[in-house]
Structure 1
Amino acid sequence: MNNSSSSKTSQTDWERIHAMSDEDIDLSDIPEVTETQMAQAVLRVGGVPVDRNQQSVVVLDTFVIEYFKRQAGNQDYQTLINAALSDYIRHNSLPN
């Protein structure tokens, strides 16, 4: 089976797409992802499935830990570090 596109020239108005802000995108016909769907999803990094288990990190710079402790207040600073790293990965990963 050949997966190549049958169209040699894109019909997409890329200039218009690149000029759009997040607020310009109509998401009204896209259903919300449920907690059940997220729990069943396969987590992949670089296209390779990975476990959802947690793992201890051995070494972080002291200033990094102190920053997150101050940001966390009465919350668990390690959870905040995990959330920050997860957010970074989601927003900076390149598509496969």
Structure 2
Amino acid sequence: MNAKSQNTPAASPGPDDAPELGDEFFERADEYPGDKLVHRGRPRLARPQQLLTILFDADVIEAFKATGSGWQTRMNDALKDWVAAHRA
């Protein structure tokens, strides 16, 4: 079959078609003082949270969700309080 393929990638843009790099780009850019990368964003935690799948009763979830945004953090804090109160 000699038909031209419709999946041919477009030609890459020339250097004159490159987008302007504004202040926002450079504020988010990686920074290297010498050879060391300065990491941006949240600092790394000594004990990071762990992703977990767990089942709760629907009424418990609804009660926490009813408190608005940040309900998962409040649920975590409630569990921390329970652990602290019940440590042997």
User: Scaled by the length of structure 1, what TM-score is found?
Assistant: 0.38
- Higher fraction of helix: 1
The higher relative CO (CA closer than 8 Å, separation ≥ 6) is in: 1
Structure 1 or 2, whichever has the larger Rg, is: 2
